[in-house]
Structure 1
């Protein structure tokens, strides 16, 4: 009986998440109502509130699921050197490509900025941390450079997704790292 309840609970959360993601394609999070989510998911409001307090908490849950999957993917690799960053960046683009619909919605204008900030933290932690630490910069300059590079990377990814991923993940990783290297070389 417990397994049946767990499956039912998982199913309910899945349809709620799918419904919110569908609505985010055309509406801002602030303009989406619980009623709309429930109608699309074909569940009642009390069931929604048994799982989430509001649409913001539901979005946070979606973002956390995506982030956990991304971190698990990136954690499989231990690339600490500049030349190894290309391989990790390729894996990042492959993950984004495989999850492009979700990523595009979460990075889109109808979502919230929290996901982009979390993406910046992940990119800094897994892609640029060791590479940029090789630069001889004071802490404040390092923070500005990191913010500049990572936010630029996010917008490159957004543009790549919006343009239909015309270049492969390998090509995009090479382009992105070439931009970054040129920027870091300019800091010397």
Structure 2
């Protein structure tokens, strides 16, 4: 990467970060380009070299986060032809590291959903598509509908992320990864019969 490319990346990162910080305070329609460039410590001309409008900046920010999310989600089974839960370890789970690295963004979408309406559903859809892709490589010996299973898994994962963000990131990404691994390894009714406790 050239020095020029690094400057572009640094500028765009500063603008994206500034926008997210402002969105913790107010909705997008009430944020001005002047406020964005002031917080990013760049001039208006620099903003318009990269983006025509603030909505374009927001979409670029969202695309960056989604791309990073997909990479983090897929990390445990990169370059593998077969993968099972037995192959998974907490250290291979990078999803929560991704969330922590984008903490400001996730605080906005989780704690201030009106600021970015509809994005929580969009995020769940991304997770659902990833789950469906995973399930294609897992033999289905029962009659479980893949679409329903993927929906269940994606919303469960979203729920974990939501609770973590709502709790102020009081746990480390490593702890969250270990918790997810234990949940996946100890799913009720995952195999065989279970004795239900008496009421």
TM-score relative to the length of structure 2: 0.68
CA contact (8 A) 1:19 1:40 kept: yes
**What is the aligned counterpart of 1:136 among 139, 142, 146?**
142
Looking at CA atoms only, which structure, 1 or 2, has the larger radius of gyration? Answer: 2
Q: Kindly indicate whether the alpha-carbon contact (under 8 Å) linking 2:16 and 2:61 is maintained by their aligned counterparts in 1.
A: yes
In structure 2, how many angstroms separate the alpha carbons of the residues matched to 1:143 and 1:126? 9
Matched, 1:169 2:158: no
* Inter-CA distance 63–154: structure 2 relative to 1 (3 Å threshold): same
* Higher helix content, 1 or 2: 1
Deviation of 1:173 after TM superposition, in Å, equals 0.9
1:35 corresponding residue in structure 2: 34
1:90 matched to 2:93? The reply is yes
Q: How does 1:54-133 map to 2 (within 5 A)?
A: 54-78=53-77, 80-84=83-87, 87=90, 90-108=93-111, 109=113, 110-114=115-119, 117-118=122-123, 120-122=125-127, 124-125=129-130, 129-130=134-135
Q: CA-to-partner distance for each residue in 1:134-178, whole Å, 9 max, x for gaps?
A: 36346xx43233223312321321111221334412343146436
| Kept after mapping to 2: 8 A contact 1:89/1:173 | no
Alpha-carbon spacing, 1:164–1:76, altered in 2? closer, same or farther (3 Å): same
Matched residues, number: 181
1:182 matched to 2:188: yes
